[in-house]
Structure 1
Amino acid sequence: MPSDLVGYVVGAAGQILKTTDGGGSWTPQTSGTAAQLNAVRFTSDNTGWAVGNAGTVLKTTNGGASWTPVATGAVNDLNAIDISGSTLWAVGDRGAAVRSLDGGTNWSPVNLRLGETHADVKTVWLESPSTVFLGGGGGFIRRSTDGGTTWGFLQHSMQAQISDLFFLGSNGWVCSNKNRVVMFTTDDGGFWRIPSAATISRSWDPRLPFAGSVRGNTISINGSYASTIYAALGNTLNRSRNDGEDWLSFGNPIPGTTKVNAFIVSPKDSNVMVAAASGIDPDHIVRTEDGGLTWTTYLTLPFGEYGVPVAMDPDHPDTLLFGGDSAVLYRSTDFGKTWNAWMADTAFRSPCNIVVVPDSSNIVLVGDGVTGSGQGQYFRSTDYGQTFTLQATRPVGASEIPGMACARLRNSTCLSTDYGVTWPSDLNLNSSWGVDIARDDPNCVIVGLYSGGNTYLSLDGGTTFIFFPLSGSNYALYARDRGMMLAEQSGGIYKLRVSYCITTDNTQQLILSAPVGGEVWPAGSVQHVTWDSQNMGLVRIEYRTGPSDPWQFVANMAGYRN
C-alpha cells in the first residue's frame, strides 16, 4: 500500500482493484492484459509495478489510471517483484529471475543455478539495491549482499515452500502456503525461529509398495515437469505425476531383468531412458526411445551388485559415464546409444557411485569398492574422467562407498567441501547408504542406513543431524528440494512427511489505557486515545459523557467498516 488509505490488489484475468479508503471500497482498473497477475508493488502514490503469468510485467506512473506492459525477457510465470532505489527484481516459476538497475528501462536475467529441478521462486525482498532475499522451492531462503553475484543460504527448520517474506529493519518474517507456521528473525536473517507454540514432526509414508529385488538408485525426474517422478523397481517402470504421492506402472518390463541399479530419464525427452539392468541376462545397459515400450541393449559389462554404475553430466545431459567391475570408465555422448572406453588409467575394482560435479564437468568423483572385500576408496578426476587420483581410503571394515551426492549451489560433495579433495568423517554411522543434498538448498542433507531403521537429516549443511525411523533397508534417497524427499527402500518408495502443529489463541481483547475516566480536557485541546489489544486489527472510537448518554463518533481506524 502506498499509504494508509490507498492500496491495490491483483488477480485472475488481469484484474487490478484500487482502494482509497483503507479497503472500505474498491474500484476496478484497466490493466490491458488477460494474464493472471500475482503481485503488485508501489514505490510512491503514482508509480507502481505488477507481475503475472507468462512473464507479464506492467507499470503505472499515474496511480493505476493506466498500465503499460514492460518487456523484460521473462517467459515463465512471475510471482513477486520488489524495488529499492533504481533496482528492481522480479522472480517466478522454474527459477526465473530478472533484474533492472536503471529503474526498469533495461532488464537482464539472473542465473540462480537451481539446476535440473528448476525450483520456483515465490518471493523477493530488497533490503537495499545490493542486498536481496529470495524464498521458494521446498523452503529455501537465500541472501545476496552483492546484487546477486554470490549467495548465502540461511539456515532454518521449515521444510515447506516459502511463499512470502517481509522485513522491518533487522526483524523479518516468512510464511509458507503449506502450513500455518510463521518464522521470524531479529538479526536480519542470521537466525530464524519458529513460534514457541509450534512443533515439527517427521515420518516416512510408504507410497509405492514393492516385493522384489531393489538395488542402486533408480529415482529420476522429468526435465520439464518437476512434479513428475520415475522409479524402476525390479523390471517395472513406475511414474508419479503428483510429487510422489500416487504411482502407476507404464511401458513394458525391461527384458532379461529382475533388478535395476541405475535409471535415468533424459531431461531433453522423457521418452528416452537408460537403465543399468541385470538378473536373467548378463549385466547390461539398455535404452528406450518410446517411453519404455521397446528396449535395446547397447553395452554388456558386469557391474557391482549394489552400486549405481551410471551417472549423467548435469550440465551436458547427453553425456553419461558407466563404471563396471574391473574396468575403466565408459563414456557416451548420445545418452547411452554408443559407448567408448574413456579412462587412460588402470581399472577400478567396482564403482559404487559416480558423480559429475555440477558447473564443473571436468571434475568427476568415483567411490570404488566391493561389498565385504577390502576398503572403499574415493577417486577424483579433473580432466572429465580420463585420469584419476586417489583422494582417500576408508577405514578397515568400510568396504564400499554406497552413496555420494553433490550440491550445485555450493562446492560441496557430501560431505566434502572442496570438490572431493578431502573427505572428513562428519557422521559416523554403521551401514550408512543413500545420501542426497536438496537441490534448492545445500544446507539440507539426508542420509539413510542399509540396516538400523533410521534416516539422518541435517539442516545446517552437515554440522548437526536429527534422526527419525524409516522401515526396511535403504538403497537411495532423492531430495528434489527441502520439501519433497523420497526414499528407495527394500520395500518400495517412501515419501517424507513433515507436519507442523501450532496452538493458537483466537481470544479477542481490548484494554483502554488512555483515557481511563474522570479526566477534564479543555475545549480545543489535543488528546491521545491509546489501547492494548489482542487479535484485533481494526477499531472504531466513540465516546460518551455519562452512562446513559448516547455514544458519539470520533474516528475509525483505516479499513474499519460497520
Structure 2
Amino acid sequence: MRRTFRTVAAGAVCSAALAASTAVPAQAQPQVPAQAGKHAAPHWALKATDTPDVRFRGLSAVSRNTAWVAGTKGTVLRTTDGGASWRNVSPPGAADLQFRDIEAFDAHRAVVLAIGEGEASRVYRTDDGGATWTESFRNTDAGAFYDCLTFFDRRHGLAMSDPVDGKFRILSTSDGGRSWKVLPNAGMPAALDGEAGFAASGQCLVASGPSDVWLATGGGARARVLHSADRGLTWTATDTPIPAGDPAKGVFALAFRDRVHGLAVGGDYRADQASPQAAATTADGGRTWRPAAQPPPAYRSGLAWLPHSRTAALAVGPTGTDLTTDGGRTWRTVDQGSYDTVDCTADLGCWAAGEQGRVARLEK
C-alpha cells in the first residue's frame, strides 16, 4: 500500500514474560531457570545486526538458528547461528529498493519482495544463501503496487498488488519464485473505494495448507479479509470489526494456525491516533470475524501463533508486544520494544524485527 509508516522509539525488554511455557505442550515446554530466587520468563533478546539505519519489515524464520530479514536500502541479512552473527546478503544494485517481505525455504533458498510504484515492485530469488540473486519479476504496470507474498509450499506461491482497474492483482508462481504470472481477475471481487493492502510486515497475504490463502485490506470504508480456497483463482470478501474508513486504518496482519482458525490485527498506524478494537478472530476460515474482547492497546502490524499451541499468539507493533493465551479473545502487553513483524518456527524459534536494525529472538 502507498503508505508512510511512523514509529515510536523502542522501549525496554519487559521481564514479565511471554508465558510461552503455558502455550506449548508439556513435552515441548521450555525449562525456565531460577534466577535470584525468581523464575526467569521467555523474553525478546536483541541480536546485534550493525544496521541502525535500516528498518526490517520483512522476516522469515527458518529455525531457532536460521532467519532472514529484509528492509530498507535494499538490505537482506541472514543468520545461521541464532543471531550471534549476520551476513549481509543484499542483492547487488538494490540499494534504492525497499524490501518489505521475504519468504525463506531454508538457509540457502529465499524469495524477497521489493515494494513501490511501477518498476520499484520486484521479486528476487536466491539458491545459494544470498551469494547470488536472480530478479524473477519486475512490475511494468504503473498502476500496480505490490505489498506482500506468501507460499503454500516450496514451489507454489502468490504475491498481491493493490487494486488495478478496480480489483486486487495476484501474481502466481509454481516453480518456487523463479517465474511469475498474473492470474485472471474474474474471480476477484471489486475493491472498495480507497481500499488497498498494507506493506507493513509481510503479513497482509498469508497461506495455510495446500490451497487456502487470505488477503488483508484497509483504507476503504470497511476493513476486509479476502479468502481463496483455490490458490488465488476465486475469492470471497468478508468485513471485519477492525476500524477502517481512513487511509491509515485497517487490517495490517493475519495469522492462521490451520485453514479455519485465524487472527487479525491492525488499527491506525499514526502514532498520535488511538487504535480501539484493533484485533479480531475467526473460527470458520474467515467467513465471519469477531472482535477481541480485550484487544491490544495500540496499533499492531505483525502477528504469529506460538509453536505447538492452539491458543497462544504474539502481536507486535511500534509500541510493544502483546500475548494472547486464549486464541485471540484477550491480549496483554508483555514487552515495550518496537517491532514491525514476528515469525515463529516449529522448533520453538520465534523472531521479531523492526526499526533501527532491531532483530530479536525469544529466549528463556
- Scaled by the length of structure 2, the TM-score of the pair is 0.71
Q: Residue type of the partner of 1:355?
A: V
Alignment partner, residue 446 of structure 1? 314
Answering whether residue 344 of structure 2 is matched by residue 479 of structure 1, we say yes
The structure 1 segments of at least 4 consecutive aligned residues displaced by more than 6 Å after TM superposition are: 159-163
CA deviation after TM superposition for structure 1 residue 255, in Å: 2.5
Q: Residue type of the partner of 2:253?
A: G
Aligned CA-pair RMSD: 3.2
Alignment partner, residue 459 of structure 1? 325
Q: Residue type of the partner of 2:180?
A: W
Query: Aligned in 2, Cα 1:240/1:298: closer, same or farther, shift over 3 Å?
Result: closer
Answering whether residue 149 of structure 2 is matched by residue 310 of structure 1, we say yes
The correspondence of residues 208-219 of structure 1 with structure 2, limited to 5 A, is 208-209=48-49, 210-214=51-55, 216=57, 218-219=58-59
Q: 2:205 aligns with which of 354, 358, 367?
A: 354
Alignment partner, residue 406 of structure 1? 256
Q: Residue type of the partner of 2:359?
A: I
What do the CA deviations read for 1:43-74 (whole angstroms, capped 9, x no partner)?
Answer: xxxxxxxxxxxxxxxxxxxxxxxxxxxxxxxx
Alignment partners' CA distance in 2, 1:290 and 1:446: 31
Alignment partner, residue 288 of structure 1? 126
Answering whether residue 217 of structure 2 is matched by residue 382 of structure 1, we say no
What do the CA deviations read for 1:310-361 (whole angstroms, capped 9, x no partner)?
Answer: 0111xx3211101012242111000112212224225655334112222xx3
Structure 2, unpaired ranges of 5+: 1-18, 199-203, 264-280
Identity %: 18
Answering whether residue 83 of structure 2 is matched by residue 238 of structure 1, we say no
CA deviation after TM superposition for structure 1 residue 272, in Å: 2.7
Alignment partner, residue 158 of structure 1? 21
> How many pairs does the alignment contain?
300
Structure richer in strand, relative to its length: 1
- Larger Rg over CA atoms: 1
- Scaled by the length of structure 1, the TM-score of the pair is 0.48
Query: Aligned in 2, Cα 1:334/1:157: closer, same or farther, shift over 3 Å?
Result: closer
Alignment partner, residue 105 of structure 1? none
On the 8 A contact 2:340/2:354 being kept in 1, the answer is yes
CA deviation after TM superposition for structure 1 residue 483, in Å: 4.8
Answering whether residue 304 of structure 2 is matched by residue 436 of structure 1, we say yes
Which structure is higher in RCO with an 8 Å CA cutoff and minimum separation 6? 2
Query: Aligned in 2, Cα 1:367/1:162: closer, same or farther, shift over 3 Å?
Result: closer
On the 8 A contact 1:202/1:497 being kept in 2, the answer is yes
Alignment partner, residue 274 of structure 1? 111
Alignment partners' CA distance in 1, 2:224 and 2:23: 36
Answering whether residue 212 of structure 2 is matched by residue 363 of structure 1, we say yes
Structure 1, unpaired ranges of 5+: 1-155, 165-173, 182-196, 499-562
Alignment partner, residue 355 of structure 2? 490
Alignment partners' CA distance in 1, 2:64 and 2:30: 19
Alignment partners' CA distance in 2, 1:176 and 1:203: 12
What do the CA deviations read for 1:193-217 (whole angstroms, capped 9, x no partner)?
Answer: xxxx86454543321343234254x
The correspondence of residues 24-423 of structure 1 with structure 2, limited to 5 A, is 158=21, 177-179=31-33, 199=39, 201=41, 203-209=43-49, 210-214=51-55, 216=57, 218-222=58-62, 227-234=65-72, 235-243=74-82, 245-256=83-94, 257-267=96-106, 270-278=107-115, 282-301=120-139, 302-303=144-145, 307=147, 309-313=148-152, 316-327=153-164, 328-342=169-183, 343-344=185-186, 345=188, 349-352=195-198, 353-358=204-209, 361-370=210-219, 374-393=221-240, 394-395=242-243, 396-397=245-246, 399-408=249-258, 411-414=260-263, 415-423=281-289
Secondary structure class of the residue paired with 2:175: coil
Q: Residue type of the partner of 2:45?
A: D
Alignment partners' CA distance in 2, 1:233 and 1:423: 31
